[in-house]
């Protein structure tokens, strides 16, 4: 039996179709030479295609009912993705002061938010991993901040591989981006600290509709673990 109402099904289908459509339009227009032109056309096209694929993930998970993500969460993540894709297409990074600062802080904020949900899920649905509050918040911050650093490494690799300064403009730009990633991860970590004072992990993620899916995954994991243990014991 479906866990979504008919209204939710219609909304999910619209999201699955129209959210990626914007990136497809940006891609086709860029190939036709109609875009902000502050980056090379192939860089814009490849980035828009990658963002198109990312934008499908959350709506597809809802349609498959693997993760009944609340719409506020989808709206937050998709707004970030669209802000980056639109800014790249229109050239916003060039003609709006400090847009790069906003982009990095918001990206780090959302990545850390996703990590927060993942860690809460682990805390709620497994007994094999138990994190105290200190390690929990430290890991949350490191995941969010670390993702930003990995992105900067990717920018460096792409520029060196292709011999252009498409992504990393200078050392000063890279260090500034890393600082903004730190700020974004810090904001989400502080928000997580405040939220966990008010609610338990299960209360926070109850709106994500993961109970049945995670319970089933836990049973499969247990069966696999017991099976492997039995095999090893028999081999001995």
Look at residue 53 in the predicted model and tell me its pLDDT.
92
What pLDDT, in 10s, does the model give residues 8-39? 888 888 888 888 899 999 999 999 999 987 77
Look at residue 137 in the predicted model and tell me its pLDDT.
93
Look at residue 226 in the predicted model and tell me its pLDDT.
47
Look at residue 168 in the predicted model and tell me its pLDDT.
54
Q: Which two tokens stand for residue 166?
A: 């498409």
- What gap in Å lies between CA 175 and CA 221, rounded to an integer? 42
How many Cβ atoms sit within 10 Å of the Cβ of residue 220?
10
Comparing CA positions, the residue from 78, 32, 87 lying closest to residue 56 is: 78
Q: Is 97 left (phi over 0), alpha (psi -120 to 50) or beta?
A: beta
Q: Is the dihedral of CA 186, 188, 194, 196 positive or negative?
A: negative
- What gap in Å lies between CA 80 and CA 73, rounded to an integer? 11
Q: Which two tokens stand for residue 142?
A: 């490191």
What do you get for the CA distance between the two ends of the chain, in Å?
45
Look at residue 221 in the predicted model and tell me its pLDDT.
59
Using 70 as the pLDDT threshold, list the residues of the chain that sit under it: 1-3, 126-130, 158, 162-170, 207, 209-236
């Amino acid at each position: 039996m479906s866990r979504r109402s008919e209204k939710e099904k219609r909304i999910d289908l619209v999201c699955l179709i129209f959210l990626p459509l914007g990136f497809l339009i940006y891609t086709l227009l860029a190939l036709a030479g109609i875009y902000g032109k502050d980056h090379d056309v192939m860089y814009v096209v490849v980035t828009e295609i990658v963002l198109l694929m990312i934008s499908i993930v959350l709506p597809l998970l809802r349609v498959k009912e693997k993760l009944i993500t609340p719409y506020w969460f989808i709206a937050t993540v998709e707004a970030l993705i669209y802000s980056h894709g639109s800014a790249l297409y229109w050239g916003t990074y060039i003609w709006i002061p400090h847009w790069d600062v906003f982009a990095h802080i918001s990206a780090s904020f959302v990545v850390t938010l996703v990590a927060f949900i993942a860690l809460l899920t682990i805390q709620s649905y497994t007994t094999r991993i138990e994190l105290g509050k200190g390690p929990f918040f430290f890991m949350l911050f490191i995941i969010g901040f670390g993702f930003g650093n990995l992105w900067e490494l990717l920018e460096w690799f792409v520029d060196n591989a292709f011999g252009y300064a498409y992504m990393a403009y200078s050392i000063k730009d890279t260090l500034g981006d890393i600082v903004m990633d730190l700020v974004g991860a810090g904001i989400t970590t502080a928000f997580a600290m405040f939220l966990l004072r008010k609610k338990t992990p299960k209360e926070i993620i109850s709106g994500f509709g993961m109970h049945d899916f995670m319970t089933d995954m836990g049973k499969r994991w247990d069966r696999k673990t017991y099976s492997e243990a039995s095999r090893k014991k028999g081999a001995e």
